[in-house]
Amino acid sequence: MNEQDFIQQLRKKTEKTPVPESLSPEQITSQLNQTSKPKNRYQQPWLQIAAAFALLAIVSGSVWGIRLSKKSKSNMDSAVSNDLSMEAQQNAQADSDEGINENTPAKSRIATPNSYQQLYQILADLSVHDMYFNAVQENQTEAATGIAADDSAASQDLRMEADVFSDTNTQVDTVTEADIVKTDGHFIYSCFQENGSYAWNAISIANAEQGTLTACSTISSASISEEIGCTDFFVQELYLWENKLFVLCEGTIPVQAQTDPEGPEATADILWTRDNTVNTYILTYDVSNPMQPVPISTLQQEGYYESSRLTNGCLYTFTTKWVNVPERFSSYEEIVPAAQDKRLSCQDIYLPKCPDASCYQLITGMQLDDPSAFTDSKAILSGNGIYYVSKESIYFAQPDWNDGAVSTEILKFRYEDGSIQACGSVTVEGYLFNQFSMDEYNGYLRVVTTIVPSYEQEEMPLTDSVMAPASTNALYVIDANMERIGTIADLAPGERVYSVRFMGETGYFVTYRETDPLFSIDLSDPADPKVMDALKIPGFSSYLHFYSKDLLFGLGEEIDPGTGEFLGLKLSMFDISDPYNILEVDKTVLPDSYYSTALNNHKALLIDPERNLIGFYVESYHGKDYEYEESYELYAYAEGSGFQKLFHCDVGNNPILTERDYSNLTNIRGLYIGDFLYLVYGNRICSYSLDTFDPIEGLIISGDGKHTHEIYTEIRQ
């Protein structure tokens, strides 16, 4: 359905619907005059948007004639006086600038709604956009199971002398990121699929002592379901902190489809709503005795799980909450997100300059030593975006693809002890590649973007003759008050960003079209950033990691510069000792390989420069018959001799790691504890010596009470 067809259909549905008095030009003017006294001038664009949508409805007789017909004005007026609690009304009038640094320029401050009624109006306007977008799209297309052990007290003794162990690969050293596998140096905790589930729904716990594997227990799907009160759920990720295990789940409570009570036959094909019953749950378990994990608490916040961070003894969780906007404003509870059944006040809901959907980003903070309640919760009226968390701040980058060329608004929040404080926002041209596109250093935020022209509303292949010469890239430096103070523009015309990494006063990023320019940027003067070098080599690096102060590791793809043919995955090592003269000193191309999870998920990469280990999953096709192989590869690097393969495991044919009659091991994780390597896939673990790389043992953990575990002493490579 194109735009003209859509408008024509709306007109047919509404041509006999009278325009309500509340939407007459006179009433709109009167209402705007009464409500257009925002607490800061950045709320006025929302009133302009509301007016524009209302006037559009009058002219075309479209959605407002359906959704706000007949009793709309009287219902909306009575809602404010009758349905809002006294506390809600007080919160609605709270100062929107509370918590903002006095030095923050007015244009950088983040607006909040004056009232829930104003918030409803904004959401209603956005729901029209959602409805149109989706109409077009549719036409285009048991309790915790303790496994018996010979000595349950042994777990306490093992914790006394923990070996050095690997943790999830993260962007910021002191900011931990969640993953599907975690270890504390003694035990391995892993998400797995119980009872043939299509997704992770249970947790396995194994003792990994000197390569010897022993099943401890499982946290079953039934027990998790009982804790959260939801049967349709799956486990997203895990954290370990001291003797606590934190399990992040996403659950859906089904609801009956909604229809328009005043005309279901006339509006069912165009009224569009989203399910607002998806919740994210944070379950806390005491695992001081891993043989018997004990549930401590369960917290709930509305929305789909997006991401999270753990730092300084606090957990910050980010979810996306879609709103079913009612046809009229009858209760603030229908339009305001909640954390642990507590609706947010207006002063805790922030309005970007260009929200793109009737949707919230919900951010909560909790102290891990007291996981019984959230310390704080905030919301941003925005759809999906990118989160970056520094040692002191949370940044959320929201792209705007709706008005001309793409731009990105970045909102900044300070955090401390679980509390979250809004600081300000800034808009930059272009879109961000991923979380590594942002970095904070000495109070300055550095951002790398790719800029595309206004007619590129969707990503197009790099071979397209129109897109390639039109795109460009930029770097921005933003101060603590969210003011742009430094810019480098027009970098690598016709290419786009593939990877970014910052180290102190130097930034590195890779763009790609036919060759791989690795840029080095001098950021010592934040107001005057400068390009120092641009090394061009075939292919590109999708992920960058500092291997030492003079070496930068890259994982990516090798491309034939003459033909553009893909030649395989590539390991690169760059000498950055002189940032004005970057050199690719070594590279290794993996023949026949074509994919690794680590290309787009840094958590899937085992990388430890101190232990000199680089491990990752690989998919390959070999020989004339293109025999498919899934493997786990482990490399080391030595200056002068380059990359050395230490270990290769055909995990697809490993009898312990391969589940059922097929393998799909993209989510396998490698980790080390002491001098032993462990490959973990769900409730299946194999151990190897890091000295000889000989297999030691394999373990399959089952919590059904009938078949507790299996030990394999022979592992087929």
Q: SS3 string of 498-552?
A: EEEEEECCEEEEEEECCEEEEEEEECCCCCCCEEEEEEEEECEEEEEEECCCCEE
Model confidence at 79, pLDDT cuts 50, 70, 90, reads very low
The verdict on residue 491 lying in a domain is no
Is 90 exceeded by the pLDDT of residue 119?
yes
The mean per-residue pLDDT over the stretch 418-434 comes to 97
pLDDT in tens, 488-509: 999 999 899 999 999 999 999 9
pLDDT digits over 527-536, tens only? 999 999 999 8
Indicate whether 336 pLDDT > 50. Answer: yes
Lowest mean per-residue pLDDT among 39-48, 594-603, 675-684: 39-48
For 138-161, the pLDDT digits (tens) are 333 344 444 444 444 344 444 445
Residue 546 near residue 538, CB atoms below 8 Å: no
Q: How much is the average pLDDT of 557-566?
A: 88
- Confirm whether 650 is domain-assigned: no
Instruction: Please report the pLDDT score of residue 71 as a whole number.
Output: 32
Number of structural domains in the chain: 1
What DSSP string runs through 274-294? Answer: ----EEEEEEEEE-SSTTS-E
The pairing of strands 349-350 and 376-381 is: parallel
Residue 11 falls within a domain, yes or no? yes
Which has more confidence, 78 or 574? 574
Alpha helical stretches, state H, 294-365: none
Nearest C-alpha neighbor of 220 from the set 239, 240, 247, 244: 247
Decide if pLDDT at 537 tops 90: no
3-state secondary structure of 554: strand
Helix (H, G, I), strand (E, B) or coil at 86: helix
pLDDT score, position 515 = 62
Return the closest-CA partner of residue 709 out of 181, 221, 291, 294. Answer: 291
**pLDDT classification of 355: cutoffs 50, 70, 90:** confident
pLDDT band, residue 76 (cuts 50/70/90): very low
**What integer pLDDT is reported at residue 256 of this predicted model?**
52
Reading phi first (left if > 0) and then psi (alpha if -120 to 50, else beta), residue 4 is in alpha
Q: Please list, in sequence order, all residues whose beta carbon lies within 8 angstroms of the beta carbon of residue 102, skipping any fewer than 6 positions away.
A: none
- Per the CB < 8 A criterion, the answer to whether 181 and 188 are in contact is yes
pLDDT value, residue 708: 41
- Report the pLDDT value the prediction gives residue 128, as an integer from 0 to 100: 60
Angle subtended by helix axes 44-60 and 116-140, to nearest 10: 50
Residue 709: pLDDT over 60:
no
Residue with tokens 């391969």: 658
Task: Please check whether residue 717 lies inside any domain of the structure.
Answer: no
Encoding tokens for residue 642? Answer: 């380059």
| pLDDT-derived band at 658, boundaries 50, 70, 90 | confident
What pLDDT score does 660 carry?
57
pLDDT class of 669 with cuts at 50, 70, 90: very high
- pLDDT on residue 102: 59
Residue 91 lies in a domain: yes
- Contacts of 596-602 with C-beta under 8 Å, sequence gap 24+, read 596/555, 596/569, 597/666, 597/667, 598/543, 598/555, 599/542, 599/543, 599/555, 599/556, 599/557, 599/569, 600/542, 602/169, 602/170, 602/171, 602/436, 602/543
The answer to whether residues 350 and 409 touch, using CB atoms and an 8 Å cutoff, is no
Chain-centre distance for alpha carbon 372:
25
Q: Look at residue 427 in the predicted model and tell me its pLDDT.
A: 96
Average the pLDDT over 350-354 and give the result.
91
Q: How confident is the model at residue 16 (pLDDT cuts 50, 70, 90)?
A: very low
Residue 114 lies in a domain: yes
531-538 long-range contacts (CB < 8 A, ≥24 apart) are 531/488, 531/491, 532/506, 532/579, 532/580, 533/579, 533/580, 533/581, 533/582, 534/492, 535/574, 535/582, 535/583, 535/584, 537/572, 537/584
Residue 261 has pLDDT above 70, yes or no: no
Q: In this model, does residue 388 exceed pLDDT 60?
A: yes
Q: Kindly list the distances between the CA atom of residue 642 and the CA atoms of 105, 340, 585, 587, in Å, as whole numbers in the listed order.
A: 51, 53, 8, 7
Report the alpha-carbon angle 206-200-672, nearest 5: 40
Phi, psi of 128 (to 5 degrees): -65, -45
Is 14 contained in some domain?
A: yes
Summarised one tens digit per residue, pLDDT across range 367-384 is 999 999 999 999 999 999
Which stretch of 154-168, 455-469, 647-661 has the lowest confidence by average pLDDT? 455-469
Higher pLDDT, 50 or 609: 609
Terminal Cα distance for the chain, rounded: 54
Q: Which domain holds residue 112?
A: 3-140
Please tell me which residue, 295 or 330, carries the higher pLDDT value. Answer: 295
The mean per-residue pLDDT over the stretch 263-268 comes to 39
| Residue 56 belongs to some domain of the structure | yes
* pLDDT given for residue 140 in this prediction: 36
pTM here is: 0.81
Averaged pLDDT for residues 10-26: 45
